Structure formats: C-alpha cells, structure tokens
Amino acid sequence: MRVNEKHYDFRKKMLEVHKKNIRDFSLEPIANELVLTNNVKICIENNLSDVINLAAKDFTDYLFTSMNIAAQIDANGCTYEAGTINVRIAKDGEDLGEGNGYMGSKIIVGDNVTIIAFDERGAAQALYYLEDLMSIRKAPYLEKGTNSRRTMYSPRMIHSGYGIDWFPNEHLAAIAHAGMDAILVFVKDVNVTTTGYMDMNELIHRASKYGIDVYCYSYMKSLRHPDDPDAEEFYEGTYGNVFRNCPGFKGVILVGESVGFPSKDPHTTGTNFSNKSDTPTNLLRPRDYPCCDYPEFLELLKKVIRKYNPDADIVMWSYNWIFAPLEARIELIERLPKDISFLATYEMGDFYNLDGIIEKTSDYTVSRVGPAPRFTAEADAAKRRGLKLYTMANTGGLTWDFGMIPYEPFPYQWQRRHDNMKKDYEERGLCGVMESHHYGFYPSFISELAKWNFTVMENKPEDVLGMILERRYGNKEIMKKALKLWSEGIDFYIAVNCDQYGPFRIGPAYPMNFTERAIPPESKYAHFGTYVLDPEYSMFINNVPHNVSIPQLSVPYERDRLIKMREKMDEGIALIETIENRNDELEELLELGKYISCCVTTSINVKTFCLARQDMNAAKTAKDVLKYIELMEEIAKAEIKNAESAIPLVQHNSRLGWEPSMEYLGDEEHIRWKIKQVQGMIDHQLGGWKKGIEFNL
C-alpha cells in the first residue's frame, strides 16, 4: 500500500547510493561464473588517487548494502589471489582494446578480477560496472571473460536534481555512477550562485574525488563591448575574478540569454534590454543573434580566464540563436576561435508538417528525436572549423515537455535519440553532451539506458533495455509492451510554448480562466528572472516573429493529437496494472505514468475550453452563446475531476509537483487551490453569464 510523503521526502531516496538487499539468495552460480564471497579483498596499487580510493570504498558499501557481503580494501598492491578484485593503472603501451582512452578500462574475470584502467576515472567506472553486472544478476556472481570499455562522450554535464546548485556527496555519487563526469553551477560572482552563497572551491574539491569536473554556467553580466577602453578591466573583474579565485573550474558555459553583451552588430538593437520604444522594430537583442563581434568578445574572455586556468574549456552555446538566419549563424561559427568548444541544441527549432499543419519545436522536447536540421547545419560548420562539438540533448532524462516530473519514461524514444547521437559522434565528431538545464538529474532507468548507450564497449548485451527492466521491475515482456505504448504516445506531443509554459509546466494545478486571470499562489520566478509559466493560456504561440502555425487550425489539431497520446498512456497503464505483486519501484513508475496522463488531460481540457470560448465569441444568438457556456461548464467540471485524481499521486510521490527553480507549484495544496478556482469560475463567471443570457431567451 502506498503511503503519503511529506515535501522533499524524495530526497531521502536520492541519498540512497546503493539499494538495499538486491541479492536473491535463491540464485545459484553457473559453471562460468566467479563467486565473490564474504570478506572479499579489493587490492589497489599503492598511492593511488582519491578517485580510486573513494570508488573502492563505494564498492565495499555496495557489496555490504546490496549483496550482504563484507569486503576489505588492501592498499598494498595487487595480489591476484583467487577471489580478489585487483585494480591498477595501465602501463605505457599496454593494450586495453576499447578501453584505450579517457575513462577506459579492461576488466578480466577469471579466478579473480583484474581491472586495468586507462586512468583513475576509468578505474572508478570499472568498479561501478561490476556493481551494475551484479545488480542485473541479483547476486555476487560475475561471468568469466574479458571486456573493455570507455566513455563515448566527455564532458557529460548535468545540473543538480536535488536542488539548484546543491550537490550532497550522495548526489555526486549517483552522478558518477551514471557515467557523467561534470556538473554545472550557476555563477554570478565568486562564491555567489543564483540562489545565494556557495564555497565553490569546496564543491570543486569534493566533486573531484568522485571523478567529476565543475563547469561555471555564467550568469555574469556582460556590460562592456570588447572595443570599450575599460573592457579588459571590466571582464578581469568578473570572469577573471572568478577564475583567479576558483582556478579549479573546468570551464565556462556562455549562452546569449545570460551573457549577451552590448553588440555593435547592425542586425541587433545593441542592448539586451527589451525595446521600450513606441516604434516597432524587427531587430533582435544581441542575446538572440549570432553577432558579428562575438569572436572579439570571446577572445577577450579567453584572455582574462586562461590567465588563471590555461586549459579552461570555454563553451559557446548557440541556444538563443536558433531562430536567427542560418547564414548568420554559420558565418559566425566559421569565425569563432578554434580553441573553444561549440555547443548546439539537438532537437530545437525543428519545423515540420503534420497533416498540413506546420509546427515547430519551440523548446526542448523528446517528442522530436532529433537531430533538427539546424543542429546538423551548425554541427557541420563546427566540424569544418575544427571546433570541439557538444550538444544539449537533455539525456539526463527530462526535457521541457513536463515541468513537474522527475524524468520522462519513454525509453524507445530516448533510444532513437541515443542512436542518432551516435551517428553524430561517428560522422560529425560529437564529443560532449549537456544532459540537463535547471531541471537537473533524477536517477532512473532512462539515465541507466543512457549510460549503456553512451559507452563504447566490447560484448555489449543485445537487449539492454530488457535487461534493465527485468532487474528493476520484473515482468520484462509486459513492461516492454507498456513502455512501447508510452513511447508511441509522446510522438503525438507537440512542443509549443503555450503548452510548455502553460498547462504542461504545472500540470493539474494549472488554472482555467474565463473572464478573470487567475495566478497560482506563490507563483515563482525562475532562476533567470522571468515567470516560468503563463497562467493565461494563449491561443497564440509566443515569440510572434517566429510563429508559423495558424491557431484556429493548430490548436484543435494539437488537442486531437494529445487525445491520442492519452490513449497510448492509458493503454500502457492498464498493461502495468495487470502485473501482480508490483514492487515499490514499479508502483512509483505506474503513478508517474498516471500523473503524466493527468497533465495531458489538463492540456486537452484547457485547449477545448479555449476553443469553446472562441466559438462563443463568434456566436450569433443567445441560444448559441448559452450552448457554449454550458459546454465550458462541462469541460471545467471534467477538469476538476482530473485534478482530484492527481491528488493521491502527488501525495504518494513528493517529487511530483516539484521543480528545482519553482519548488512546489504542482503539489496537493496548489491542485486544491486550482479546484477551488475552477469551481469559483463555474459558479460566478460562467454562472453570471448564464443568468445574463436568461434575459435574452
């Protein structure tokens, strides 16, 4: 029976690095397996790094917590005795096969286990891999043989899913176990993040023990043009000051909306403040345009940053340029300094024709697998230029599709994205990934799938997803069918701003408005200083200059597609409910699916309500007006029932209804507020209209 959680109880689960009692004592080893026994010895070379020492301690904790085996660490060198686990760094010229490379290793399982690592992080990842194998086997048994492996991408950058810029050791451990090697921190100044003060050097030091680098995600103001006489002095006082005091930062992420500077490009307004003039202009702000003077800006930042960290990775992200002319974007890429990295968003900006309706991916989504043609064009330009190519792909598991969930459980859709990213790795030199923005990282079977897919290895299992599902949930075949339906469902989602910044952002807590605008209580600003949701659903897509759809056509079409998505979600839910004796993890997944279905229903109802209001405005008789008023009343009552059905779901899982920058805006309290608000609209706003119409009938 599911019990109710208090706010933030989900963090208790996030602090459990290893799950308890995974071992199935009924399982017996087979002939070709090494059995790890009680008091197994982990032998490591003398004077190995903190990364290996900590990983070895982690491994002993895994054996004790998950496999009920005590283990000890011997730091006096490898003994290669039977039953031991031996860890060493490869000697010069030693062939590790696929493990030749950063975070690589060769693992030999015979009468003992020998890990020969390319580097310290490779050794840690090899130990985590042994944990994965035993968790899949549900016993401390390892198949004999040799396997080599290394990461496909570096950096794999992630924000915190525990809380913005909040990285307890256990969360760092989970990030390392997921194969990620870098975290992102929003930086406004030395030891100042968007949420307050932080000892950045302490975080850099602590993360390094887990084999994790720290990137500075810049929120520093860029108030000088590089030609200004005091420009170098100004940026020495911002970027230079941060890297002088925190030289351990691996690098810096630069994106227009955060660091746009006062450009002199004639295609821009020259200022990053909104145009307040009474005269309309079609000029973009410098933050939103690939300005011709970006190279000079970057050269100046390089100068002040690399004075303190000569190897700092300076990453230019093209996110805000996505709807600027292709020619301008390519021209700038071809002029960027060669010694920086270029980050392109994977699926965003994709224009597509669905049954004659033109739509576009306004922001991050897994409904479109990618790569979008705009990514491909930028990636090809970066390759020609010889730039290191990274992508923002949200592969930590969550996009902008839903604002109040921990991850999107659509594995077949994620698999397609992973497969396409591998092609870009092979053909375009894609070498690094940003895996989330401020939504952060919540460990899940989706992030586990990404870890396997983002690893170059020998002898990879044929059915990785089935293997993961069987370990976590059992009933592999039913789960694959159910999750295939869910994955087909997200294909019907259309990523438009009025949904992603509206009903999908806070789900069943989203209000329904008729004559008055209702704003959710304690409506939060995002960390970037603007409202993260629009409580007034708009028939018209945001960013009018980029709008390509006709609302009178697209809104009913989008609604009908969401109805199909909900059908797929509900079919999958029904399949999972046929499974008896569901474990807690499966119950949590099932309720996540139900919550997503509730979010989809909210969006369907909001769209249907707005269409009815539109038809009412065009009505010619009082009788027709009354018909649409009654239809809106019916829709509103259906939405109240939908919101009520979501309450047990958010009660059982404190992560539902929470998002890092908004905190709780979709929890029980806010859903109950919404129910009261909608009922008030029915009683007073719609009711008032009905009384008025009576005088005309």
DSSP sequence for 612-667: HHHHHHT--SHHHHHHHHHHHHHHHHHHHHHHHHHHHHHHH-TTTTEETTTEESSS
Q: 422 pLDDT exceeds 70?
A: yes
CA nearest to 78, candidates 114, 126, 119, 125:
114
**Do residues 37 and 142 make contact, with C-beta atoms less than 8 angstroms apart?**
no
CA R_g for the chain: 27
Of residues 218 and 47, more confidence is placed in 218
Q: Which burial class, exposed, middle or buried, applies to 603 when counting CB atoms under 10 A from its CB (0-12, 13-18, 19+)?
A: buried
Q: What is the pLDDT of residues 74-88, one digit of tens each?
A: 988 899 999 999 999
Q: 540 pLDDT exceeds 50?
A: no
Ranges 9-23, 113-127, 462-476, 545-559: which has the least confidence: 545-559
pLDDT of residue 523: 63
Q: How far apart are CA 69 and CA 398, in angstroms?
A: 35
Amino acid residing at 431:
C
What average pLDDT score do residues 508-514 get? 92
Q: How far apart are CA 413 and CA 485, in angstroms?
A: 11
Confidence bin at 543 (pLDDT 50/70/90): very low
Q: What is the pTM of this model?
A: 0.95
**Do residues 263 and 284 make contact, with C-beta atoms less than 8 angstroms apart?**
no
Q: 546 pLDDT exceeds 50?
A: no
In sequence order, what are the beta bridge partners of 467? none
**In percent, how much of the chain has pLDDT > 70?**
95
Class of domain 15-148: alpha beta
Confidence bin at 545 (pLDDT 50/70/90): very low
Alpha carbon 246 to its chain's center? 27
**Do residues 658 and 666 make contact, with C-beta atoms less than 8 angstroms apart?**
yes
What average pLDDT score do residues 450-468 get? 95
In sequence order, what are the beta bridge partners of 352? 359
Confidence bin at 554 (pLDDT 50/70/90): confident
Instruction: Report the length, in residues, of the chain.
Output: 697
Residue given tokens 């087979």 in the structure block: 30
- Considering 100-109, 272-281, 526-535, the range whose residues carry the highest mean pLDDT is 100-109
Strands 196-197 and 192-193: antiparallel
What average pLDDT score do residues 222-239 get? 97
**Do residues 674 and 508 make contact, with C-beta atoms less than 8 angstroms apart?**
yes
pLDDT of residue 349: 83
pLDDT of residue 359: 81
CA nearest to 667, candidates 71, 2, 9, 1:
9
Q: How far apart are CA 342 and CA 363, in angstroms?
A: 19
What average pLDDT score do residues 647-671 get? 94
Q: 542 pLDDT exceeds 50?
A: no
Q: 157 pLDDT exceeds 60?
A: yes
pLDDT of residue 662: 84
3-state secondary structure of 477: helix
What average pLDDT score do residues 339-361 get? 87
Q: How far apart are CA 565 and CA 288, in angstroms?
A: 33
Domains of the chain, by residue range, sit at 15-148, 156-275+283-475, 488-694
In sequence order, what are the beta bridge partners of 316? 254, 342
Structurally, what CATH architecture does the domain formed by 156-275+283-475 represent?
Answer: Alpha-Beta Barrel (3.20)
Q: How far apart are CA 318 and CA 398, in angstroms?
A: 20
Q: How far apart are CA 421 and CA 344, in angstroms?
A: 12
